[in-house]
Structure 1
Amino acid sequence: MTGVTRPLTVLIAALGGEGGGVLMNWIVNAAIAKGFPVQATSIPGVAQRTGATTYYVELWPEKTPNDARPIFSLSPAIGEVDVMIATELAEGSRALSAGYITPDRTTLIGSTHRVYLTVEKMGMGDGRLDEKKLYSALKKNAQQAVMFDAADIAQRKGAIINAVMLGALAGSGALPLEPDVFTSAIKKEGKAVKANLAGFSAGLEVAKSGGAGLAVDTAKQNISNQTEQELEKQVKTGFPPAVHEILLHGIRRLIDYQDADYARDYMERLEPFREHDPVLLREVGRHLAIRMSYEDIIRVAQAKGRPTRFNRIKDELGTAADDPFHVTEFLKPGIQEVCDLLPPTMARSLMSWGKNSGKLKTLHWGMEVRTTTITGYIKMKILAGLRWWRPYSYRWAVEQAAIDRWLALVMQAASVNTALALEVTELARLIKGYGSTHQRGSNNYQRIVADLVVPLLADPPPDGPERVKSALEAALAGPDGKALKQILHSTNPPAPVAAQ
């Protein structure tokens, strides 16, 4: 051996269905083709997005005399990883937190897209991690970082993300393996060769361009039909440029959720805010689109019956084009979900019976719907097709009235100052989901409005925005409501008892 004193180490963190094992095999086969001694191991992750499967490769970066075999380790050591491949932003951050990414040694090949963690989804409000901070920390603490949205490129190339990551690895030059050796490994594997080679080439191009990514085709982002184009024109001519993007997203969202008329209602509701601060207008537009597209069983059926969802599941499973697979949806609607679809009068009667009998929160109907069968798919499509009925339903009446009250409250706060209006706008973060999650958030919202916001608007103090912000943070701190109760109690202490 000539001057080589240690193996090169590669750690891969990949989610289920992303082909991490195949990626490991490609690297191993490429090393074998070069005559390099190599060893690979893997540790399975946990389901439900609480962890990734990790793969570890050690290779000796030159041929050894007489086929001598170095002693390799079975697991990575902190501070001794040469190449870290992370197929998702949070997975790269996990590796950094564990000490596997270091500024004196590690080349990071990382995708910047997100697949949200279970803990993020469980948050009372927006529980997402700060992506800018994650990205910045990874760039700062790696010796070399090739970071880009590999999932987007994979989708556009019709490939799995592992091929894109392999191309980026080849382009980084972190391993003494030429691109041709990797492409030979892909061909030898024999799985989806054409698509994987396309993904590999795209990843290679990104790495050589410094992680800039490929040009995105924005044509598909334009609103299509004439009615929608009229709304787009209304946005661009009647609202400041700073809010165009968010309002166009809102229009698309509401057309998909209901129809173009509903998107027009969205624009009409924003009209009174047009002359206000663009920052306030933008936040009202963002939260209004979310509130108007509230979650109900029709929306759930829409999401579960989309062809793109089945394509994504198929990609995650890694199945071939003709391989059969089954998807079973587990649903558990209760009285509240049924009432959401009924006319208001009928819904109130049924809910009254449910409350009096104690069954409102306890009576549910368990359902299993296999949406990959004709009957199961038709059931979902029929349910999703009830969009036309939505404006006549109890839930619609409740939500529209609540939205109008919220907008009136924001407008009243804006007459005091923009800072207070922004914090009142942000209270909409509490109202999300459906069932118990929606009820809990709505209750917290109503408590903050009644006990804090209304008194503040009657007699605005200088620290009004800070007090509303603190109440929101307390409500988002946990489902038990203890932190919020303390905040509201300290803000409005009980009046002293008069002396007798």
Structure 2
Amino acid sequence: MSERTQLHPGTPIKIAILAMGGQGGGVLADWLVDMAEHAHWWAQTTSVPGVAQRTGATIYYVELLPESDVAAAGRQPALALMPTPGDVDLVVSAELMEAGRAMQRELVSPERTVFITSSHRSYAVGEKSAPGNGISDPNKVIEAGRECAKRFMCFDLQALADKAGSVISASLFGAIAGSGALPFTREDFEETIRRGGLGVENSLKAFANGFEAAHNAPEQAELLDLTRPMPEVPTSAKHASINKLLDSIRQDFPEVAQPMLVAGLRRTIDFQDVAYGRQYLATLKELNQLEAQHGGADKQWSLTVAAARYVAVAMAYDDVIRVADLKTRGERFARVQKEIGVKEGQLIYTTEYMHPQLDEVCGTMPAPLGKWILNSAGMRRVIEPFCRKGRFMQTGTLSGFLLLYSLSGMRRFRRSTLRHQIERKSLDAWLDLVRKTLPIDHDLAVEIVECRRLVKGYSDTHVRGSSKYLKLLDAAQHLSGKPEAAQKLRQLRDAALADAEGKQLDAMLQQDRLALA
């Protein structure tokens, strides 16, 4: 028994497990109950489900009481059905932000709680749908865990489970054993897994990984390294045409911009073809030469670096063809199967929710035809009723897959579509403004490039982002030549990214009298 385990006669050990759907919180709770009962303890588990997978995890609550205490009391125990704030011995979280929720609920206390959490993230809907970077800072949770718990352990238990070819419930079980928070031996834990009879070998490997991580955990949980290394410039590629483009990156561009240029080249080639990647580099080369004429070296080539990213984003826009391509890729099916733990011999069918709008449908057509339909009131009346409701499609079936696969094959005709003409016109207007501004105000030109981050996604998301983006470009033209123009445009962009509706941006534009008529 670990020195950290403290039993109070007549008082059960109280355990709270926070896990989302699919993370095996119920399995973990059942393992704890099974282990305790085989050791002749009284055990009970209950669960309090969250509203949804990412608006609140299910809380599994376990109470364990030695048989000797029950015998001494002379009656069967009355165990609680849910955790009480400040009265939990062990809190286990299968994901880092759920650890934050546990502390918000005051389940963790510095006087008694051993707190174990995985450091990996499953992003909330609000984080993924934010106009800007909505990802919460995970280190704030770790810092709070250091303060709130008697002992706090945090490491990537999902990675340890993946390494063993198992699921996170097994590595969490191992971390509990390695922490010494419960008065059971390692053999007790391992025999529990063996009694389960499913995936025993891999589960035991994941258990061992979690055990070692917790047993050797530092007294203070370490903060996560949030830096993202830039991609390296490859020395060669499989195709000679791509080798020439890589040579161009190394020879024609400053070193500081090369990693982002490699990322942009990969994106544009993946989106369309090698010729499209060549067009991307030609655009960047022209911008880099212009920046060189206006103090680019003194500014650490900030415009070229920013443009390397956002020109690629603008050229590789999200259209129906792109969505169909991504949804029918083999690696996507493999990733989904891995995430849900599909076993050999099992079949999985992924149901896609598709809701293309009339503009998106016409965008895949040849430009003259698409324009004619959009400008024809009669044709709109005929087609729009079919675009009012979403469609559910199973990409695992032959008919569903072939439909999307055929759509993805239309990328060979993409340059002739209405959507490509629209995007090309938008790209040219944006770059013209950058070229016009650069000789006047280098910093403002960089901020104009950064404004492109507002344009993303498709359907309503694309419409909202594009609307705010156009307002920022109009504001940039008004700001050109004025003091602190770059700082002001940055503030406006931050306001645009702060909320999806753009209310903060509109308020600032109205205040500064920069709103469009």
| Shorter-chain TM-score range | 0.7 to 0.9
Residue 460 of structure 1: which of 465, 478, 482 is its match?
482
Superposition RMSD in Å: 3.6
Q: CA deviation at 1:440?
A: 1.9
Residue 355 of structure 2: which of 327, 332, 340 is its match?
332
Whether the 8 Å CA contact 1:335–1:354 is kept in 2: the answer is no
Note if 1:431 corresponds to 2:443: no
Superposition TM-score, scaled by structure 1 size: 0.83
**Percentage identity across paired residues of the two chains:** 34
Note if 1:347 corresponds to 2:361: no
Alignment-mate amino acid for residue 271 of structure 2 = Y
Q: Which residue of 2 aligns with 1:403?
A: 427
Whether the 8 Å CA contact 1:448–1:488 is kept in 2: the answer is no
Residue 276 of structure 2: which of 259, 262, 266 is its match?
262
Deviation readout 1:336-380 (Å, 9 max, x if unpaired): 111221222222222212599578876506433222222222222
Q: Distance in 2 between matches of 1:244 and 1:63?
A: 69
Secondary structure in 1 matching 2:17: strand
Note if 1:154 corresponds to 2:178: no
Secondary structure in 2 matching 1:330: strand
**Pair 1:193–1:363, CA change in 2 (3 A):** same
Q: Which residue of 1 aligns with 2:408?
A: 384
Runs of at least 5 residues in structure 1 that lack an aligned partner in the other structure: 495-500
Whether the 8 Å CA contact 2:373–2:379 is kept in 1: the answer is no
Secondary structure in 1 matching 2:376: helix
Whether the 8 Å CA contact 2:21–2:53 is kept in 1: the answer is no
Residue 23 of structure 2: which of 18, 21, 33 is its match?
18
Q: Which residue of 1 aligns with 2:206?
A: 199
Q: Distance in 1 between matches of 2:19 and 2:129?
A: 22
Moved more, 119-128 or 246-255: 246-255
Alignment-mate amino acid for residue 458 of structure 2 = Y
**Pair 1:295–1:178, CA change in 2 (3 A):** farther
Note if 1:80 corresponds to 2:87: yes
How many aligned positions are there?
486
Note if 1:298 corresponds to 2:321: yes
Moved more, 125-134 or 270-279: 270-279
Q: CA deviation at 1:41?
A: 0.9
Alignment-mate amino acid for residue 122 of structure 1 = S
Q: Which residue of 1 aligns with 2:52?
A: 47
Q: Which residue of 2 aligns with 1:473?
A: 494
Q: Distance in 2 between matches of 1:493 and 1:390?
A: 36
Q: CA deviation at 1:99?
A: 1.7
Whether the 8 Å CA contact 2:318–2:456 is kept in 1: the answer is yes
Alignment-mate amino acid for residue 85 of structure 1 = V
Note if 1:118 corresponds to 2:125: yes
Residue 94 of structure 1: which of 101, 118, 124 is its match?
101
Q: Distance in 2 between matches of 1:467 and 1:298?
A: 37
Deviation readout 1:54-75 (Å, 9 max, x if unpaired): 2111223785464865442211
Residue 369 of structure 1: which of 388, 393, 401 is its match?
393
**Pair 1:131–1:138, CA change in 2 (3 A):** same
Q: CA deviation at 1:53?
A: 1.6
Alignment-mate amino acid for residue 476 of structure 1 = L
Alignment-mate amino acid for residue 55 of structure 2 = T
Whether the 8 Å CA contact 2:233–2:246 is kept in 1: the answer is no
Q: Which residue of 1 aligns with 2:11?
A: 6
Superposition TM-score, scaled by structure 2 size: 0.81
Q: CA deviation at 1:96?
A: 1.9
Runs of at least 5 residues in structure 2 that lack an aligned partner in the other structure: 1-5, 289-295
**Pair 1:466–1:385, CA change in 2 (3 A):** same
Secondary structure in 2 matching 1:96: helix
